[in-house]
Amino acid sequence: MTAPLLEARNLAKYFPVASGPFAPRQTLNAVDGLDLSLAAGEAVGLAGESGCGKSTVARLLLGLTPPTKGEVLFEGGNLAEMGKRDLASFRRAAQLIFQDPFSSLNPRQRVGDIIGEPLVVHGYASGSELRERVARLMEKVGLAEEHFFRYPHEFSGGQRQRIGIARALAVEPRLLVADEPVSALDLSVQAQIINLLQELKRELNLAFLFIAHDLSVVRHLCDRIAIMYLGRIVETGPRDAVFERFLHPYTEALLSAVPHIHPPTGNKRIILPGDPPSPLSPPPGCPFHTRCPYAEGVCSSTTPLLTERDPGHLAACHFSMKLYRS
């Protein structure tokens, strides 16, 4: 079996939170015991509702935030143990596409300088060669060369996201982490950006970690899906297996909320009771048991492990086989 390009093992990030000068310090469990792997050329979707820890996972995997415990491995090397040279190589190999195309670009820089800056910083090109490489990058993402001297405020949201993608591609990465890159865009523009990312993945054999809360977007782009709830992965597996033979009640609820032009017969929207628990005081046992319609006594006392139920298809639920295989 081929070793994964990127791997997270028992990854956790806890943030101390002070609620007042005399209140006891609390701990926010943003990510709690996460395991995730990504092969070269593979697209993995990380999905879940807002606040479940997806963006924190992105920062941990890219080494932008140190983990509280656990480790991140890139081509077998631990990020926390890398020296300056290896870390610089990792920075070139793994790039981030930001969620907000309006705040992720320097308003005082021209587009050509924004895209070309990584090439200058990492010593890839200068002078006329720099201009040529930037022009090729702009063409690759659907921008005209005449846009070279314009500023970000002169572009639409979709065009700004194309600029961000071109900047990420400048140093020829092997891994792109896209943190909800289309959530701030109109639906028609979302489709254009998703198609562009899909085309780039095929052409450049890029590995993608695509973070989103919209499962219809994830299904279009990704080979494998991981469902996240309250800092933990509760189900992961091949795209079609998760969509057609889901094994966790939270996945079932998320899929019921995906809009359909022609809804399947018997498909009903599942409304979960209450609100997600606070990561400041996660519930004991299964983190989903406070909202789960199938919860029993064991769910509130014993945390289910992420267990392989089918080849490559894992779920963290005590009753996966009973609920969905009866």
Tell the burial category of 286 from Cβ atoms under 10 Å away from its Cβ (0-12, 13-18, 19+). Answer: buried
Grade residue 93 by pLDDT with cuts at 50, 70 and 90.
very high
Tell me which amino acid residue 197 is: L
> Would you state the pLDDT for residue 262?
61
Please compute the mean of the pLDDT values over residues 284-309 and round it to a whole number. Answer: 93
Tens of pLDDT along 7-47? 999 999 999 987 777 777 889 999 999 999 999 999 999 99
Grade residue 326 by pLDDT with cuts at 50, 70 and 90.
low
Please compute the mean of the pLDDT values over residues 49-61 and round it to a whole number. Answer: 93
Tens of pLDDT along 140-170? 999 998 899 999 999 999 999 999 999 999 9
The region of weakest confidence among 46-55, 178-187, 229-238, 288-297 is 178-187
Cβ-contact 164, 105 below 8 angstroms: yes
Q: Give the chain's domains with CATH numbers.
A: 6-108+175-324 (3.40.50.300)
Tens of pLDDT along 168-182? 999 999 999 999 888
Grade residue 136 by pLDDT with cuts at 50, 70 and 90.
very high
Cβ-contact 259, 201 below 8 angstroms: no
